[in-house]
Amino acid sequence: MQTEKLYYLDPYLQEFSAAILRKTALADGRFAVVLDRTAFYPEGGGQPCDTGTLNKLTVLNVQTKNGEIVHTVEGDPGDGPVVGKIDWQRRFDHMQQHTGEHILSGVFLAKYRAENVGFHLSAATVQIDVTLPTLSDEQAREVEDAANAVIFANRPIEAKFVETDELAAYELRKAPGAEFEQIRLVSIADCDCCPCGGTHLRLTGEVGLLKIRGWEKRKNNIRVEFACGYRALADYRLKHELARSLANRFSSPVELALPAFERFLEKQESLQRELNAARKTYHEELATRLLNEVAPVGGIRIVSRAFAGYGAADLQDFAARITAADGAVCLLAAVDETAGRSSFLFAAAPNVPGAMNDLLKRSLAPVGGKGGGNAATAQGGAPTADADGILATARTMLTNEIAP
Ligand SMILES: [Zn+2]
């Protein structure tokens, strides 16, 4: 006996009673259950399965296996009649996305002769692959407008079984699988007609809204990501709140938030240029002063210094000014107090004894830091804000090597 597919008779049926035809104990106390009738849609055609409960036990999965609809239940539902309840929020979401897929596919075909050759629906995303080499912003907007026009027209969606020899009377978006005797046709007037075994809404208006969220090239096709119904609302809400927060930060209306942000970035870049120029001047003066102050050890002048808020480029700029002097070595650090990290740059002028990469590795190893480079220049990092301690250790090690 075949399970009666209640989800075809009434895709809005949320609760039903049924008899158990067969049940099998699985690992971990779960049961595989076959019913005489079910409203649980098994995964298929790109639409995920329903979940819900059978006699208040969670239905974890529903799959078609060897022509049977098998419900995987968390426990033993007993032997008598069962009451099944499907997770309606999940199912309605699937119906919104899946019906939206029909509309979008119909529009792509009508406008650009582009076929839907792949459908993916998950909790995170809804995508179709269409046979187009490219898709412009303008084309995407046109498709989106046309799809939403079908939604707002609130057209009926019909599903019916037809014999294969009746198919010639229909203009189908895609050919049915050859293995079926009867074909289930799903049609939306003046939009789409195609064989489909999924669950659909009664009226296009229930899709609510269809928003294309993005697209990318996939081999010879375009993969279009979109959202329908409550997902489109959630997407709008997320972006609206983001836009509003951004606008509030700039005390501007939402429409003017982007220009305000661009002005902010320009200002930032201008300040950064000023800061870089000021640092170069400061580095020049500081390098001259420190090189004069430091007492040479075996003819070598070791300059060490920790800076706050410096990047790698700042350290390199200062190092270049030190190592331009004969017999000079610099042991530098940039401290990030917030992250509790420091980065290091050790550099030596030509002909200075000792290898900087070796010195850096030995200095950082005790605090779990790492570094690399060559004899003249080495860079690294350590998970500590106490850069002064590390620099002092390095200076002592280097001094002992130069003048033992
Ligand atoms: Zn369908």
Cα 5 to ligand 1 centre (Å): 15
Cα 103 to ligand 1 centre (Å): 10
Instruction: Please provide the average confidence, as pLDDT, over all residues in the chain.
Output: 94
Cα 102 to ligand 1 centre (Å): 6
pLDDT for the residue numbered 179: 61
Cα 44 to ligand 1 centre (Å): 10
Q: Does residue 307 sit within a domain?
A: yes
pLDDT for the residue numbered 172: 85
pLDDT for the residue numbered 268: 96
State the CATH number of the domain containing residue 22: 2.40.30.130
Rounded Cα distance, 304 and 101, in Å: 64
Is residue 180 over pLDDT 70? no
Cα 82 to ligand 1 centre (Å): 28
Total of domains in the chain: 3
Judge if 186 and 72 occupy the same domain: no
Cα 156 to ligand 1 centre (Å): 14
Judge if 202 and 295 occupy the same domain: no
The answer to whether the beta carbons of residues 315 and 330 sit under 8 Å apart is no
Q: Does residue 62 sit within a domain?
A: yes
Judge if 318 and 208 occupy the same domain: no
Cα 219 to ligand 1 centre (Å): 25
Res. 181 pLDDT band, cuts 50 70 90: low
Is residue 192 over pLDDT 80? yes
Judge if 103 and 192 occupy the same domain: yes
Longest dimension (CA), the chain: 100
Judge if 96 and 80 occupy the same domain: no
Among 229, 233, 225, CA closest to 205: 229
| Local structure of residue 245 (DSSP, 8 states) | H
Give the tens place of pLDDT for each residue, 14-42: 999 999 999 999 999 999 999 999 999 99
Give the tens place of pLDDT for each residue, 240-279: 999 999 999 999 999 999 999 999 999 999 999 999 999 9
Judge if 119 and 35 occupy the same domain: no
Cα 23 to ligand 1 centre (Å): 30
Task: Give Cβ neighbours of residue 373 (< 8 Å, ≥ 6 apart).
Answer: 346, 356, 357, 360, 379, 380
Judge if 315 and 381 occupy the same domain: yes
Cα 98 to ligand 1 centre (Å): 6
Q: Does residue 261 sit within a domain?
A: no
Of residues 2 and 152, more confidence is placed in 152
Judge if 133 and 213 occupy the same domain: yes
Cα 287 to chain center, whole Å? Answer: 47
Q: Does residue 264 sit within a domain?
A: no
ipTM score of the complex? 0.99
pLDDT for the residue numbered 165: 79
Domain that holds residue 74: 4-86
Cα 221 to ligand 1 centre (Å): 21
Judge if 239 and 96 occupy the same domain: yes
Give the tens place of pLDDT for each residue, 146-177: 999 999 999 999 998 888 878 888 888 888 77
Is residue 337 over pLDDT 90? yes
Judge if 277 and 380 occupy the same domain: yes
